[in-house]
Chain A
Amino acid sequence: MYEEIIRLVNVSKSFNEQQVLQDINLSISRNEFVTLLGPSGCGKTTTLRIIGGFEISDTGDVIFEGKKINNLPPYKRKLNTVFQRYALFTHMDVYENIAFGLKIKKMDSKDIDRKVKEVLKLVNLSGYETRDIDSLSGGQQQRIAIARALVNEPQVLLLDEPLGALDLKLRKDMQLELKKIQQSLGITFIYVTHDQEEALTMSDTIVVMNDGKIQQIGAPQDIYNEPVNAFVADFIGESNIIDGVMVKDYYVEFAEGGFECVDKGFQPNEKVDVVIRPEDIKLVPVDQGMIEGVVESVIFKGVHYEMLINARGLRWMVHSTMMEPVNTKVGMNVIPYDIHIMKKVIAE
């Protein structure tokens, strides 16, 4: 598809005898917006730091534009990083912060002036050259950190949970701005976050990680619609995960019942995880439903109601724009297409 720019081959890393990354294999293309997504401790930040040169992997190779850069120090790599807490130089003003990398490259001061102006315009902070870092708000500091990295025109920009400290509205605005910047400049962005919604919004490709291993790589829609295991299904969006048995192709038993589904290729009577998204369960009058249950709780979430239904000894999460009051008997329906079957992940 696109030209590959970074490749990680069999990268492993442990700290203090704890295995943080295990056999990571990853290929990143030019102009791609890749997000490393996962819970705290899954290894995503370590992966980013290995790419940036701040950690050295125990095994494996980091290949940049076809060349191994395993031991190359950060100041020799052609990438730049936006740090989680911005890491701005508090003893310099905005101009000097942004110009830092350019001055090291011994650029002409007229050129530096021009580039600083340009990048400040890009992040909507024109005129802030002489401001003190301490006088800026969190969102402004964030944009200066981004400007400081981008002004060096790197091929690849690494971003380590850059929006974590911002309030919700600002976060969502910045997400769109970052995406716009990435597309207009045509740079590769490697973005780390634990926020799945953020990942779904911004990415071309999502790499879901857990426990030091890559769980799934794919486009946002694919990850959402076809999670490859229960972890991914649970991490992205909400899910109901139920123990089931794959009786035969296209037929699964769970919750004391048998249901048609659209998956095949499992062993007869193989134990599986059954995943159904809350928004895929339709509430109908009791007698019309495949499963009958009682409403246990209702929470208004703005976009929809989140209801917990007690049925067949299990608690089902249902999202609907229609509300059924607590203690009502309801029926639940789901079409075969929305019943996802995945192999049980054996805990290590």
Chain B
Amino acid sequence: MKKHLLAYPYGLWIVIFTIIPLALIVFYSVFTTDAAGIHFTLEHFKRVFEPIYLSVFLRSMKIAAISTIVCLLLGYPMAMILAGKNLSKKSILVVLFVIPMWMNFLARTYAWMTLLEKNGLIAAALGFFGISVPSLLYTENAVILGMVYNFLPFMVLPIYSVLVKIDKAVLEAAEDLGAPPMTVFRRVIFPLSLPGVSSGVIMVFMPALTTFVISRLLGGAHFTLIGNLIEQQFLTTRDWGFGAALSVVLMLMIMFSMGIAMRYEKENEGGGLW
């Protein structure tokens, strides 16, 4: 039997449930309905660039960038430590590292709500020492903390999986040729780990840029990021055109950042992490 025909049902599914919906979004972003009927318009996109909305974009990018950098700074050493362990300890530690990821992501964010709130544990502990802090919850730092907490494993695992594949003999060769440990890191380990770093950066930056849950729960009802903005357009203000335009801009931003990151990534055998 012509085996490749097997893929056609799936192809159909993709068209109906992925391609058409995306096309619909693009459609809504450039068309508007009024008394005269449907016509092409760029007014939705023009609104995107109004200062009030631009500031939302900038804020989202700033927070996503900060979270990504923090994840990188915290996660890279962790990946190195994990990769350096011997075989049995390695798998146990990696599993332990991944278990929190299996907890629902809402659960993990909620957990920080309880810790950070006015009546929460951290405030109580600090109060015990006589330090009184304004509420830690509903601040920008809380949102960043929530992002780092949720996405740290996504930075560590790709870097870890690349580091672990480096032939130890290559590191010994560098040492043999006169490189002290810092130089071995700078000139051999780090360059070889770049594909993992770029994977990690993509896997953190993207969800960080598009989330609305973390900002709503940890930032409060008035903390608006792009995700919140889009959600509002579709569920509250019912301005689909504007919401679609925002979505298209968001998708373009993602594609652009991935394009940059992909330049560092080598051919990955399908599967990568898992």
A contacts B: CB pair < 8 Å: yes
Q: Which residues of A contact B (CB under 8 A)?
A: 52-54, 73-75, 79-81, 83-85, 87-91, 100-101, 104-105, 148-149, 152
A–B Cβ pairs within 8 angstroms, 11 of them: A54-B172, A75-B177, A79-B176, A80-B176, A81-B176, A83-B173, A87-B169, A87-B172, A101-B178, A104-B179, A149-B177
* B176 lies within 8 A of A52 (CB): yes
In the assembled complex, B55 has its CB within 8 A of some CB on chain A:
no
A73 CB contacts on chain B under 8 angstroms: 175, 180
> Lowest 8 CB-CB distances: which A-B pairs, in order?
A101-B177, A87-B169, A87-B173, A74-B175, A104-B178, A81-B176, A87-B170, A83-B169
In the assembled complex, B115 has its CB within 8 A of some CB on chain A:
no
Contact-residue size bin, chain B (C-beta under 8 Å from the other chain): 10 to 19
* A89 lies within 8 A of B178 (CB): no
* B177 lies within 8 A of A104 (CB): yes
Query: B176-219: which residues lie under 8 A (CB-CB) from chain A?
Result: 176-180, 183, 187-188, 191-192
Q: A81-B176, A91-B191 are in contact. List 5 more A-B contacts (CB 8 A).
A: A83-B172, A84-B169, A88-B173, A101-B178, A101-B179
A79 CB contacts on chain B under 8 angstroms: 176
Count of A-B contacts judged by CB separation below 8 Å? 61
Expressed in whole angstroms, the Cα–Cα distance for A54 and B172 within the complex equals 7
Expressed in whole angstroms, the Cα–Cα distance for A101 and B179 within the complex equals 7
B191 CB contacts on chain A under 8 angstroms: 91
Expressed in whole angstroms, the Cα–Cα distance for A19 and B176 within the complex equals 26
A85 CB contacts on chain B under 8 angstroms: 167, 169
In the assembled complex, B174 has its CB within 8 A of some CB on chain A:
yes
A87 CB contacts on chain B under 8 angstroms: 167, 169-170, 172-173
Which of A75, A84, A89, A91 sits near B175, CB closer than 8 Å? A75
Which of A74, A90, A91, A105 sits near B176, CB closer than 8 Å? A74
* A74 lies within 8 A of B167 (CB): no
B167 CB contacts on chain A under 8 angstroms: 85, 87
* B169 lies within 8 A of A100 (CB): no
* A100 lies within 8 A of B179 (CB): yes
A89 CB contacts on chain B under 8 angstroms: 170, 173-174, 188
Task: With a 10 A CB-CB cut-off, give which of B173, B175, B179, B180 has the most chain A CB atoms.
Answer: B173
Residue of A nearest to B167 (CB): A87
Residue of B nearest to A152 (CB): B177
Expressed in whole angstroms, the Cα–Cα distance for A104 and B234 within the complex equals 59
